[in-house]
Amino acid sequence: MQRNKIQNLTLIAFMAAILCIVGPLVLPIGMVPMSLTNMAIYLTVLLLDKKRATISVGIYLLIGFTGIPVFAGFTGGAGKLLGPTGGYLIGYLGLSWIAGEILEVTDRKWLRKKCQKKFKNLGQMMALATGTIILYLVGTLWLMMQNEMDFVSALSIGVLPFIIFDAMKIVAAVTLGNAIKKRIQLMV
């Protein structure tokens, strides 16, 4: 029991640390920079369960909220979390919870069936894509309110430039996540 608790805390802290390392790295392409943070969250969701993944993301957000520069472009603080792109940061919680929930439900319901094993990667990709839609929705609504713009304008700034790259990140995360699970036999 104690070993399991320590293992869970270690995994949560490890994935939060990965988020803190990857989060600041960006490709500035506009008002909303492109980062690998969501790919790190995809891996977190794939390697942990929804609860532990969401806790890891929450720790990452709390670290950034305190002012430690773990957000895109080596920024941090309450101003960043409450600013125009803060909705995308907050949306990471929705991404991790929703994608994790879908993974848990589909794993219980149909992925374990022998005839459905070949669709496991597709199911994982769909779960992460659904979580990303939640992220996009929260971030877009927040951006819209913060900048007093219409939904289409906010969508064109905060979502459209990223869809293809996020799809590639989902494919890469599923491939990498499954390879990691195989190599280290991580219990999820």
pLDDT in tens, 45-92: 999 999 999 999 999 999 999 999 999 989 999 999 999 989 999 999
> In this structure, what token pair is assigned to residue 175?
């491939």
pTM (predicted TM-score): 0.90
Could you tell me the pLDDT band of residue 116, with boundaries at 50, 70 and 90? Answer: low
CB 178 within 8 A of CB 44: no
Which of these, 6, 22, 28, 97, lies nearest to 60 by C-alpha position?
22
CA–CA dist 169, 167 (Å, integer): 5
- Taking 80 as the threshold, does the pLDDT of residue 130 lie above it? yes
Burial class, 183, CB count within 10 angstroms (exposed 0-12 / middle 13-18 / buried 19+): exposed
Q: Which of 3-12, 37-46, 140-149 has the lowest mean pLDDT?
A: 3-12
Residue ranges in the chain assigned as alpha helix (H): 2-22, 37-47, 50-65, 78-82, 86-106, 120-147, 151-158, 163-184
Q: With pLDDT > 70 as the criterion, what percentage of the chain qualifies? A: 90
**Comparing C-alpha atoms, which of 33, 17, 15 is closest to residue 25?**
33
pLDDT of residue 176: 95
Own/partner pairs for 19-22, CB < 8 Å, 24+ apart?
19/44, 19/56, 19/57, 19/60, 19/70, 20/60, 20/63, 20/68, 20/70
Mean confidence (pLDDT) of the chain: 89
pLDDT band for position 188 (cuts 50, 70, 90): very low
The pLDDT value given to residue 33: 72
Q: Map out the domains of the chain with their CATH numbers.
A: 2-184 (1.10.1760.20)
Alpha-carbon gap, residue 51 to 80, rounded angstroms: 25
Q: How confident is the model at residue 1 (pLDDT cuts 50, 70, 90)?
A: low
